Structures are given as structure tokens and as C-alpha cells.
Amino acid sequence: MKNRFTFKLAAGLFAAACLLGQSGAYAADEVKTTTETNNNGTQKSTTEAKGNNDQSQVGITHFALRPTAGAIFFNGTQRFAGGVLADFNLVQLPWMKIGPAFGALYSSLSGSNFFDGVSTSNNDYIFQLPANLKVTFAPDNARRLQLGVHGGANIIRSNSGVGGAFGGTTVSSNLGTTAGGSTWDVHPNFGGDIDFALGTAADLTLRPDLTLMNAFNMFSATLGLALKL
């Protein structure tokens, strides 16, 4: 059942990416036709198509929502992670964009395999609430690729069933620094962002991220579909 749910989620994300990549395709090309008459009276027509690059094809103009799915890795354990991330663009230059990036990612920690991380009915879970500043650069002239970095804080909420592993009471395997039974903890995090334009309305984003803990660190890798609003 869980495998089926994961397959449907991945298939739905892929289908949405394909539809948006075609329906939100790049701005219409400018077509220019030139007709020349030779000395012998024959005519020669030349047609030239030029893409409209007046606006950036990759990256966001103002705001984007990113349905996201992937995995977290910590202390030899792997779990599914899914949720929604959001980006705001506050500073826009021809080659660079700067703005806050935040969101929420859910993972279930019950069970013994990767797909147990899909279930929302298990007792042990964590929420990641990343709050970062994101800086991106567009290195290619075609404006289809964008590379970036992000950094800031990862606020982690865990339930009591986790036994202090992701915040809460201090034990030998504790990832956090909070004592006294709290279910919230704040950790520094940083990572990268690779955006590829599917069209003017959507990007596909690969987001590797490292959250620094006190006993061991947590790495996450997610793939998101950016819906640019």
C-alpha cells in the first residue's frame, strides 16, 4: 500500500512537470522572413526564428511553491521526506537572485525500511521547517539552468515517541541541543539548489541539504516542482 502511494506521488509529480513544461512553454518565438531578388529575377526567402529572451526562463520572478519529495539520511538510516517549500525573490539582477526560502518536510520514523517514511499514521515522526536565505546564479546564456546555495536554520519538531533523537531530552543519540523534554530544536543547515527550466511557469529543482547536529548530521536530497506564481 505504501509502495503504491509513493509510486502515485512520483508519477503525479512527473506528469505535472511534463504538462507544465509544454503548456507553459517558453514565450513565443519571433519569426522574421526576408525576401531577396537576385539579378536574374529569382527570389530567395530566408526565415529566421529567434527565441524571446526578454525575461528569465529559469528562477522565479516573485514567488514560487515547490511540492517536494525525496529522502533524509541520518546515522545509517534512510527515510522518505515529502512536503512543500516556498521561495520569495527580493533582489533580482540579470545574473543573480536573492530571497528567503522556507517550507515544511515530513518524515515518519516508524518501521524499518525507507517506505515506512510515507505513512502519516505511525507514532514516530519529524517535521523539518527550513528557514533559509537563497542566492542563485544563472551561468548559461539560454537561461535554462540556475545554480544556487542556501543557508540558515532548520527547525525540527519531533513527537515524544522519537525518544529525544531529533530534539527533546538529552540522550547519547540526541541530534539536538535542547534539554528538558522540548519537542522543538533549531540547527544550522546549508546546501545547494540546481534549477532547470521546464517552461516559463515551472522549474525542476534538485535540493541537497546538510543539517548540522551534535551527535551526527542529517543529509536530505529532494526533488521539487516549482510552480511560479
CB-neighbour burial class of residue 181 (10 A; exposed 0-12, middle 13-18, buried 19+): exposed
Check residue 134 and give its pLDDT.
96
**Measured distance CA(12)–CA(1) in Å, rounded:** 16
Check residue 207 and give its pLDDT.
97
| Count of beta carbons in the 10 Å neighbourhood of residue 208 | 14
Check residue 43 and give its pLDDT.
64
Closest by Cα among 140, 131, 156, 136 to 217: 156
Q: Where are the domains of the chain?
A: 2-21+58-228
Q: Per-residue pLDDT averaged across 110-117, rounded?
A: 66
Could you name the CATH architecture of 2-21+58-228? Answer: Beta Barrel (2.40)
pLDDT, averaged across the chain: 73
Q: Per-residue pLDDT averaged across 145-153, rounded?
A: 94
Highest average pLDDT, of 13-17, 168-172, 197-201, comes from 197-201
Q: Where are the beta strands (DSSP E) in the chain?
A: 30-37, 43-50, 63-74, 77-88, 91-92, 96-108, 125-137, 145-158, 184-199, 202-211, 218-228
Check residue 173 and give its pLDDT.
44
Check residue 147 and give its pLDDT.
94
Residue 93 clears pLDDT 60, i.e. is over it: yes
- pLDDT grade, residue 174 (50/70/90)? very low
CA distance to 74, 89, 92, 104, per residue, from 152 (Å):
19, 16, 20, 14
